[in-house]
Copies of this chain bind each other. A is one copy, B any other.
Amino acid sequence: MRYEKGHKETTRQHIIDVASREFREGGVAAVGIAGIMSKAGLTNGAFYVHFDSKEDLVRAVLSDALEQRARGLAGNLERHQSLKDSIRDYLSTRHRDHAGSGCPTAALVAEIARHPAQTQDLFAGNVERIVILIAARLRGGTNAERRRKAMAIYGMMVGALQMARAVGDAKFSGEILENALAGAMSLAGED
């Protein structure tokens, strides 16, 4: 079988998409290559046609997922979605219950802390980008003050979403999301 131009790149992206979901749902350490390839409709061996190693895939997945997230947020803000609505989406039960398609930072930040410097740098660049996007939507104060608030707000979003996912009890979980939203808006200086 010989394939049309671009086929290899399409397959590579498909593997990244599947792995991206699996990693966010199950964690990098607990998800294996055989499982990813099987879910992608391929066999074990084809993996190394596309990636050098599992760590190479992790970097490709992070790069892709973080990029998509930042683009999504930028797009929403350009389409005049309010910062509050963006944060509300982030701290929603829907986002909480769909980690596989959700924020890669919330799903993988603890694991990224244990990965090589190259992987961490990739992550850092994305955090910077998100902070700038949030800061640009804040009103009042100096640039430095808006940057400070943006970091605090982003940290709260990531921490609260993770806790909401980990407590199990739906009522308590919902309370965490609501209270973090109120806290974020209070910091942002809106209602």
* A142-191, CB < 8 A from B: 147-149, 151-160, 162-163, 165-169, 172, 175-176, 179-180, 182-184, 186-187
Q: How far is the CA of A127 from the CA of B182 in the complex (A)?
A: 18
A114 proximity list for chain B (CB < 8 A): 26-27, 30
A107 proximity list for chain B (CB < 8 A): 110
| Secondary structure dominating the interface of A | helix
In contact, B111 and A27 (Cβ under 8 angstroms): yes
- Number of this chain's copies in the assembly equals 2
The count of chain A contact residues (Cβ–Cβ below 8 Å) is 52
The interface of chain A, by Cβ under 8 A from chain B, is 26-27, 29-30, 99, 105-114, 117, 120-121, 123-124, 127-128, 147-149, 151-160, 162-163, 165-169, 172, 175-176, 179-180, 182-184, 186-187
